[in-house]
Amino acid sequence: MSDDLLAQLTEAKTEEESWKIIIQSYFQTLPEKLSKAVWTIAVPHWFNESILRALFPDSKNDLREIYQQLVKLPFVQDFPERGHNIFQSNRQAILRNLWKENRKKFINISTLAKEYFKQYREKKTEAQIEYLYHLVVVNSEQGAKEIREICAEWNNKFCFAELEYLVNSLLEQVEENRVQGLAKAVIFYRQARAALRLDQPSEVLKEILQNLYIAEEILHKYRDKNLQADILQTIGDTLISLNKYQEAREKYHQSLELYKEQDDSLNIANVLQSLGTVYCKLQICRESLGYYESALNLFYKIDDVLGQANTLSAIMDVLKNYNLFDDKSCELSEKIHSHVSRSSIYTKVVGHRVKYYAPKRLYLLFQEKATKLYSDLGYTFINTTIQDRTEKINKEKPSSKGRNPIIHFSKTSTIIPREIPDLIKYPIVTEKATILLENNKYVFTVKPSAIKPDIKKAIETLFDVKVIKVNTQHLPKKKTRRGNFIGYKSHYKKAIVTLAEGDKIPLFPEV
C-alpha cells in the first residue's frame, strides 16, 4: 500500500469514504475497458456472458476476453446456476459510489438490465424479481403498478418465499434512497404484510410500523384510495399485534370509510371483523358483537365461507368469555345457527371451537354441524358424544393448581380460547425429532407467544390425547444466503410434547 493511499485512508471520516478511496485506487490499476465493465456488472445481482453483452454493448468484439478477465478478479465469485457476482460488500460500495458520482450512468445501466430481464420474467422467478429491482429505479410509478400485480398473483398462489425475496431485494433499493414516491409506499406495505404473516417479534414490528407511517404520508400526494385504505388497515393490524388497540381502532375506521367509498365489500367485512376484535380487546362487548354481526352479514352476502366461520367463532368467544349467554343473546344465537345452516362449506376451526368452548345450549345447536364439518373435509371426528363429554366435565375436579385440565385455561395466559388451537403451526420431522418419537415425544413449531399450558391445551384439543409434559425452546435467527441475497431465517419457538402412554399422534399416513 502506497503512502498516499494510506494517508487518504487515515483522513477518511466514514467507512463509505474509505471504500470510495479504495475502489478508485484499485480501478486506476485496471485497463479502461475492464474498469468500465466492473462498474457495469455491479448493477445487477449477478452476471454472465449474455448479461454482459446486453449491458456493455460497446465491446462486442473483445467481450469474451473482458468476461474472462472479470471472473478472475479477486472480488468476483461463482454464482451457482447463474454465472458470477461481486462480493456483496464490494458491490454495495461500488453502487453507492456510482449512484453518488454518476447517477445518470447508473440509471442507464439499470434501463439496459431491465430490458434484458424483461424477456425472461415469464419463465424464471429470479428474472422477474431482478426485472422489478431495476424497474423501480428507472420508472417508479410503473414499478409500483407491476409490483402490486405480481405480489397479488403470488399471494393468491401462496408463493410466500418468492414474495419475501422480492421484498428484500426491493428494500435494498429503498434503503439506498434510489426509490421514491408510490413504489416506496408499495414496498413498505408489502414488507409489513410479510412480517405480519411471519408473526415477527415486537421490535421488528415497531420498525415496520414507522415505515408504514412513511408510506401513509407519501400517499397524501396521490389519489390511490385503494392503496391508502390497504395501508391504513395494515397499520391497524400491526398496532393490534403491538397491543395498541385505541390507535388501531382509529386506523380501522379511516380505512373503513375509504373502502366504503370504493364499495369494496370483502375489505369492508374484514375491517368490520377487525373492529370487532379491537372492541373485544377493549372489553366493549356489545359494540364488538355489533361489528361482528355486520361483518357476518357481509361475508354471507359475498359467500365468503371462511370469513363466516372465523366471525362465528369470534362471536362465540365473546359470548363465552364475557358470560353474555342470557335471554337477550338467544336471538343472536339463532342468527348464528341460521348462518351455519345456510353455509355449504365449513372449516376445521369452527368444529374445534364450538365443540370445546361453547356452553351446553350451543353444544346441542352446533353438534350436528361440527360433525358434518369433519366429514366434508375428510377429518376424523372425535368419537365422544356431547353427553359423554358433558358427564366427563361434570365429574372432573379442578386440579391442585386451581384449573380444570379440560376446559379451564392458565390464569397467566393472554390468549383467548378460540386462538389456542392456532398456536400450533406444524410438526418438525427431522432425524432428531424422529428419534424422540420412540419415547412418545413429538416436536412442533409453535407461535413465539405460546406458553406451556396453552400448548398443552392446543395439542389435547387438536389430537384428543393426554399431554403429560411440555418443554419449549426459543431458537435464534440464523443467517442464510441464497446466491447474492443475504438474510435471516425467522426466529421461531419449538415445543417438545410428551404424551401419556398409549396415546399417539399420526404424523405419517398409514400405508
- Using one digit for the tens of pLDDT, what is the confidence trace for 40-51? 888 999 888 888
Cell of 139: 420508472
Q: What is the mean pLDDT of residues 478-507?
A: 80
Domain 417-499 has what CATH class?
Answer: alpha beta
How many CB atoms are closer than 10 A to CB 228? 20
Q: In 3D, which of 343, 408, 405 has the Cα closest to residue 370?
A: 343
Who has greater pLDDT, 146 or 320? 146
Question: Per residue in 53-82, pLDDT tens?
Answer: 888 877 667 788 888 888 888 888 888 888
Residue 442 has pLDDT above 90, yes or no: yes
For residue 334, the model assigns a pLDDT of 53
For residue 239, the model assigns a pLDDT of 92
Residue 464 has pLDDT above 80, yes or no: yes
The residues spanned by each domain of the chain are 264-395, 417-499
For residue 26, the model assigns a pLDDT of 65
Contacts of 309-313 with CB under 8 Å at 24 or more apart are 309/343, 309/346, 309/347, 309/349, 309/350, 310/273, 310/347, 310/349, 311/273, 311/276, 312/336, 312/339, 312/340, 312/350, 313/349, 313/350, 313/353, 313/354, 313/418
Contacts of 448-452 with CB under 8 Å at 24 or more apart are 448/199, 448/201, 448/474, 448/491, 448/492, 448/493, 449/414, 449/415, 449/423, 450/415, 450/423, 450/493, 450/495, 451/410, 451/412, 451/413, 452/495
d(CA 382, CA 390): 14
For residue 410, the model assigns a pLDDT of 34
For residue 411, the model assigns a pLDDT of 36
- CATH code reported for the domain at 264-395: 1.25.40
For residue 482, the model assigns a pLDDT of 66
Q: Is the pTM of this model over 0.75?
A: no
Extended beta strands in 53-191, E state: 76-79, 83-86
Q: What is the mean pLDDT of residues 388-413?
A: 39
Q: Are 462 and 421 in contact (CB under 8 A)?
A: yes
Question: Considering just the CA atoms, what is the radius of gyration of the chain in Å?
Answer: 28
Residue 103 has pLDDT above 50, yes or no: yes
How many CB atoms are closer than 10 A to CB 236? 28
Q: What is the mean pLDDT of residues 407-420?
A: 48
Who has greater pLDDT, 44 or 490? 44
For residue 431, the model assigns a pLDDT of 85
For residue 492, the model assigns a pLDDT of 80
For residue 135, the model assigns a pLDDT of 93
The helices-and-strands tally (H runs, E runs) of the chain is: 23, 8
pLDDT band at 292 (very low <50, low <70, confident <90, very high): confident
For residue 134, the model assigns a pLDDT of 93
Q: Are 292 and 315 in contact (CB under 8 A)?
A: yes
Who has greater pLDDT, 110 or 300? 110
Percent of the chain's residues with pLDDT above 70: 72
Q: What is the mean pLDDT of residues 170-175?
A: 90
Q: Are 114 and 135 in contact (CB under 8 A)?
A: yes
For residue 11, the model assigns a pLDDT of 58
Q: Are 289 and 308 in contact (CB under 8 A)?
A: no
Residue 240 has pLDDT above 80, yes or no: yes
Residue 329 has pLDDT above 70, yes or no: no
Residue 114 has pLDDT above 70, yes or no: yes
Q: What is the mean pLDDT of residues 390-396?
A: 41
